[in-house]
């Protein structure tokens, strides 16, 4: 078993770190709100630290799941950052959804310090993290990925290296692009069914068994029909991710007209007070429009 650190105990990181401790690893956690780190340690029997550096000292692998580019920089760099506490040859595994630009920046900084860096964003939401059934897409040096993979698979149903540094983040962008259009399509279908006087549940029972079926339909249609949004992946986070997608699309020359449109629809949801609502709340926007 390995000596590990886990930085960031949000809705994803908290259970992910728990799976590592339950698997027999020696885990030390850090969270910006110290009370949550103390709670985790009391619940799971691991340790907690006051800074990323302290958590990372002596760790073979340091996992992180924080908020955005700036959060990642703050836990990696500086006198109290994880890189300062990691020993030569240790590997940093970043599960945050961030830009490929900051990923490559941290990869180079880690390399200069004799450290490994693997970008490993996740898909599967809170339920996937809690059940240890995340899909994890990775980028980075092959040898460092191979070393980290057995630890990462503790909370994954699928873990795969897609290429060099940044490839994991690029793949996560493709994931979010696909989801954005899909959720809008599902919302429009349910909205149409309501306006046409159809039984939404009966409609889904039929169309979910054909080409229209999807994870979103199977797992979200009931809460959508019930106008229930206080769960799942928040609109605020989806807009952060789509912003990364759109910025990167400009850099690589990709055209994302549907993604850009859905991003604006999510902006409307935020104006409705739904920043913390689940991404399936695109239906709430359509209902408001009438």
pLDDT tens-place string over residues 257-266: 999 999 999 9
Residue 272, phi then psi, degrees to nearest 5: -80, 0
User: What CATH number does the domain located at 170-289 have?
Assistant: 1.10.1040.10
The closest alpha carbon to 138, from 158, 119, 112, 151, belongs to 119
Check residue 202 and give its pLDDT: 98
Query: H or E stretch including 3?
Result: strand 3-7
Matching fold, domains 3-164 and 170-289: no
Which positions ≥6 away from 65 have C-beta within 8 Å?
6, 7, 8, 10, 12, 13, 16, 95, 96, 122
pLDDT value at 135 more than 90: yes
Check residue 232 and give its pLDDT: 87
Check residue 1 and give its pLDDT: 85
Question: What is the pTM (predicted TM-score) of this model?
Answer: 0.94
Where exactly are the structural domains of the chain? Answer: 3-164, 170-289
Confidence tier at 254 by pLDDT (50, 70, 90): very high
Over residues 175-202, the pLDDT tens digits come to: 999 999 999 999 999 999 999 999 999 9
Check residue 290 and give its pLDDT: 84
pLDDT value at 30 more than 90: yes
Over residues 195-240, the pLDDT tens digits come to: 999 999 999 999 999 999 999 999 999 999 999 999 989 999 999 9
Q: What does pLDDT average to over the chain?
A: 97
In angstroms, the first-to-last Cα distance of the chain is 57
Over residues 37-56, the pLDDT tens digits come to: 999 999 999 999 999 999 99
Cα–Cα separations (whole angstroms), residue 83 to 63, 105, 182 = 12, 13, 39
DSSP string, 204-252: HHHHTTTTT--HHHHHHHHHHHTT--SSSSBHHHHHHHHHHHHHHHHHH
What are 118's strand-pairing partners?
A: 93
Over residues 83-123, the pLDDT tens digits come to: 999 999 999 999 999 999 999 999 999 999 999 999 999 99
Query: H or E stretch including 194?
Result: helix 167-195
pLDDT value at 139 more than 90: yes
What does the pLDDT average to over 1-14? 96
| Other CB atoms within 10 Å distance of the CB of residue 90 | 25
Pick the CATH number of 3-164 from 3.40.640.10, 3.10.180.10, 3.40.50.720, 3.40.190.10: 3.40.50.720
Q: Where in the sequence numbering do the catalytic residues fall? A: 172
Cα–Cα separations (whole angstroms), residue 252 to 67, 238, 247, 263, 284 = 24, 21, 9, 19, 33
């Amino acid at each position: 078993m390995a000596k590990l650190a886990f930085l960031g105990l949000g809705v994803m990181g908290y259970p992910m770190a728990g799976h590592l401790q339950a698997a027999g690893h020696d885990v030390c956690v850090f969270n910006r709100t110290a009370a949550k780190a103390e709670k985790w340690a009391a619940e799971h029997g691991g340790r907690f630290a006051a800074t990323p550096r302290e958590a990372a000292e002596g760790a073979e692998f340091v996992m992180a799941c924080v908020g955005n580019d700036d959060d990642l920089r703050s836990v990696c760099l500086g006198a109290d950052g994880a890189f300062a506490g990691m020993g030569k040859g240790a590997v940093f595994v970043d599960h945050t959804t961030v830009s490929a630009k900051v990923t490559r920046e941290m990869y180079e900084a880690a390399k200069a310090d004799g450290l490994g860096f693997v970008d490993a964003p996740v898909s599967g939401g809170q339920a996937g993290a809690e059940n240890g059934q995340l899909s994890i897409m990775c980028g980075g040096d092959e040898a460092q990925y191979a070393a980290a993979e057995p630890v990462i698979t503790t909370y994954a149903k699928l873990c795969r290296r897609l290429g060099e540094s940044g490839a994991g983040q690029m793949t996560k962008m493709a994931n979010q692009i696909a989801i954005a259009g899909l959720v809008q399509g599902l919302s429009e279908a349910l909205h149409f069914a309501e306006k046409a006087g159809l039984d939404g549940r009966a409609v889904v029972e039929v169309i979910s068994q054909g080409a229209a079926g999807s994870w979103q339909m199977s797992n979200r249609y009931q809460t959508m029909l019930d106008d229930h949004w206080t769960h799942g992946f928040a609109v605020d986070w989806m807009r952060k991710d789509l912003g990364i997608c759109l910025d990167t699309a400009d850099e690589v020359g990709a055209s994302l007209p549907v993604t850009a449109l859905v991003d604006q629809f999510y902006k409307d949801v935020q104006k409705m007070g739904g920043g913390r609502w689940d991404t399936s709340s695109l239906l709430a926007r359509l209902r408001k429009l009438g």
